[in-house]
């Protein structure tokens, strides 16, 4: 069955970068688009962006444009999200989710990123 | 991006029906039928409950239903059960080819 396993929790200092991985199983990663979503403690879901593998392009939220980079490794069936110049307000759980006809039908378990000096 | 607007909380007794609204604009809900709803229990990942306004994925109870009128979508839970207590988020595709989530609604079963 379709499943995503994300990398473990991270603690980073302000100004550093973090890279979160999302390994897919049960299907080939590039056959569906993939989204990244985050949720700060006690806050709502925030859409970060998506990868159109078929079109080989990415779309980022305006708020994080310039600090956010999505990449993928087809051979490892894994996608990556890197966020740079971290701030305390980037502390959140980061999720990857598969997009199937514009609905997010399978989600990873989430990765907690804590930004603290 | 601007969030879609949902009530902060909705409550109901077991067996009752409740409805959660989700208000957007003519750039999202008003122009696309790509509205989905997600249920999130504490400490868990969101789960798809409704897609394309009123469709249920396999395995989701038929007590959950969706609708849309103009710029507002709605999720109705009928026959409310204790396990339905969770946070619910709407989500819409937009004309900017990005997604917008709602502000989230906490459902309490009294």
β-strand pairing of B35-40 with B86-93: antiparallel
pLDDT tens digits for B32-90?
A: 999 999 999 999 999 999 999 999 999 999 999 999 999 999 999 999 999 999 999 99
Residues of chain A neighbouring B91 (CB-CB closer than 8 A): 45, 47, 104
User: For residue B3, which residues of chain A lie inside 8 Å, CB to CB?
Assistant: 44
From A25's Cα to the closest Cα of chain B, the distance in A is 17
Asked if A44 lies within 8 A of B47 by C-beta distance, the reply is: no
Question: Within an 8 Å CB–CB cutoff, is residue B63 touching chain A?
Answer: no
A46 contact residues in B (CB cutoff 8 A): 101
Residue B1 pLDDT > 80: no
Between chains, do B45 and A109 touch, taking CB under 8 Å as contact?
Answer: yes
Distance from CA of A50 to the nearest CA of B (A): 8
> Tens digit of pLDDT for each residue in A21-61?
999 999 999 899 999 999 999 999 999 999 988 788 899 99
Total H helices, total E strands in chain A: 0, 11
C-alpha dist (Å) from residue A32 to A70, A75, A106, A111, B56: 15, 16, 11, 21, 20
Give chain B positions within 8 Å (CB) of A108: 45
- pLDDT exceeds cutoff 70 at B102: yes
B37 — contact with chain A (CB < 8 Å)? no
**The pLDDT value given to residue B2:** 79
- The share of chain A scoring above pLDDT 70, in percent, equals 100
DSSP B102: B
- Closest-CA distance, A14 to chain B, in angstroms, reads 24
Q: Report the distance separating Cα A13 and Cα A19, nearest Å.
A: 14
């Amino acid at each position: 069955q379709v499943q995503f396993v994300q990398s473990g929790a991270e603690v980073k200092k302000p100004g550093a970068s973090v890279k979160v991985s999302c390994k897919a199983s049960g299907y080939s990663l590039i056959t569906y688009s993939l989204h990244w979503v985050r949720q700060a403690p006690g806050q709502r879901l925030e859409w970060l962006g998506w990868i159109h593998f078929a079109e080989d392009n990415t779309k980022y939220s305006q708020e994080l444009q310039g600090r956010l980079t999505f990449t993928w490794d087809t051979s490892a069936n894994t996608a990556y999200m890197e966020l740079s110049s971290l701030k305390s307000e980037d502390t959140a759980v980061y999720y990857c989710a598969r997009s199937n006809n514009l609905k997010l039908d399978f989600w990873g378990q989430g990765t907690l990123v804590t930004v603290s000096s | 991006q601007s969030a879609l607007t949902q009530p902060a909380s909705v409550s109901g007794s077991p067996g009752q029906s409740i409805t959660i609204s989700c208000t957007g604009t003519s750039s999202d809900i008003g122009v696309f039928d790509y509205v989905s709803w997600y249920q999130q229990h504490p400490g868990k990942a969101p789960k798809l409950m409704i897609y394309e306004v009123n469709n249920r994925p396999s395995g989701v109870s038929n007590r959950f239903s969706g609708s849309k009128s103009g710029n507002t979508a709605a999720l109705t839970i009928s026959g409310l059960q204790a396990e339905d207590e969770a946070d619910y988020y709407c989500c819409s595709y937009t004309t900017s080819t990005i997604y917008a989530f709602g502000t989230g609604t906490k459902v309490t079963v009294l």
